[in-house]
Structure 1
Amino acid sequence: MISASVTETVQFYHLDPMNVVWHGNYVQFFENARCALLDQIDYNYPQMDASGYVWPVVDMRVKYVRPCTFGQNITITATLREYENRLKIDYLVSDSKTGEKLTKGFTIQVAVEKSSGEMLYRSPNFFIEKMEALV
């Protein structure tokens, strides 16, 4: 499957009172990696909008394995696992130097027709064809 990675340095504003990355900031880390992945397949949010579909996140899971700390360089990798009926994207946050797994998770997005607000139970045909040409 297709993957993309981004790197970040943990900043002071990412931390909670216990001096580790606040759990809610992982959502932003995932989003940054997801956008890199969507750019790679040329179907990021502007292209989604132009295609007449929106793809809301309908489910998200995060498993915290080890904490991220101030100044730590981390790599966030997003991997597209499913695309036929929904977008399922897996995420892995790891230490950039050691490769140690820090956090993992996934999101699920579904296609919704902008004009009607109707959720599709299958990804649009043009998107499936686009993905099959890439994989």
Structure 2
Amino acid sequence: MAASYDIQMKVPFHDLDPMQVVWHGNYFKYFDVARFGLFESVGVDLYGYLKSRQMVFPITRSSVKHILPLRFDDTFICRATATEARYKIAMDFEIRRPDTGEICTRGKGEQVAVKLPDMTLEFEIPPEITRALGC
């Protein structure tokens, strides 16, 4: 079963735009908090791969669909769910209101494995990451 992780957060004032809603770029920050929570929850240390294997996992694709705006002091849950981890790591993201379950935002992200220092694209995600993410 594919790994999933939920984290509850609250919108700080400095995340707002002039219209008093969360600035669109901040949703990617929320996705990253959930992404790294997911990695940590299944025992995957991407920084450890940099140090021990000289391997990094850059984001190569991301998208977001805004449905309902988040505003100052709103509490929300951001969920990250692994959808693939063989040739790339792909995740779906969902932001919803905990009280009503309303979906505010959906997103997707993809990352690949790259070997340093030559920046060589690896065509497979390390198998222990694939197993940990359940994909």
Match of 1:95 among 94, 97, 100: 97
Cα distance in structure 1, aligned partners of 2:102 and 2:26: 19
Match of 2:88 among 86, 89, 92: 86
Cα distance in structure 2, aligned partners of 1:116 and 1:124: 18
What is the match of residue 54 of structure 1? 56
Q: State the 1:97 CA deviation.
A: 1.3
Q: State the 1:126 CA deviation.
A: 4.1
Q: State the 1:123 CA deviation.
A: 1.5
Q: Detail structure 1 runs of 4+ shifted over 6 Å in the superposition.
A: none
2:122 aligned counterpart, secondary structure: coil
Once the two structures are overlaid, the 10-residue window that deviates more, 109-118 or 43-52, is 43-52
Cα distance in structure 2, aligned partners of 1:79 and 1:48: 21
Q: State the 1:45 CA deviation.
A: 2.8
Tell me the C-alpha RMSD between the 2 structures. Answer: 1.6
Aligned length: 133
Q: State the 1:44 CA deviation.
A: 2.9
Give the partner amino acid of 1:38.
F
What is the match of residue 73 of structure 2? 71
Q: State the 1:111 CA deviation.
A: 0.4
Cα distance in structure 2, aligned partners of 1:40 and 1:51: 21
8 Å CA contact 2:81, 2:93 repeated in 1: yes
What is the match of residue 120 of structure 1? 122
Which ranges of structure 1 fall in alignment gaps of 5 or more residues? none
TM-score relative to the length of structure 1: 0.90
Q: State the 1:60 CA deviation.
A: 0.2
Cα distance in structure 1, aligned partners of 2:5 and 2:123: 26
Q: State the 1:70 CA deviation.
A: 1.1
1:19 aligned counterpart, secondary structure: coil
Per-residue Cα deviation, 1:92-114 (whole angstroms, up to 9, x for no partner): 00012111100000110000012
What is the match of residue 37 of structure 1? 38
- The percentage of aligned residue pairs carrying the same residue is 29
Q: State the 1:46 CA deviation.
A: 2.0
Is 2:23 aligned against 1:4? no
Per-residue Cα deviation, 1:34-86 (whole angstroms, up to 9, x for no partner): 01001012113322323431000000000001100111100000000000110
Cα distance in structure 1, aligned partners of 2:127 and 2:5: 24
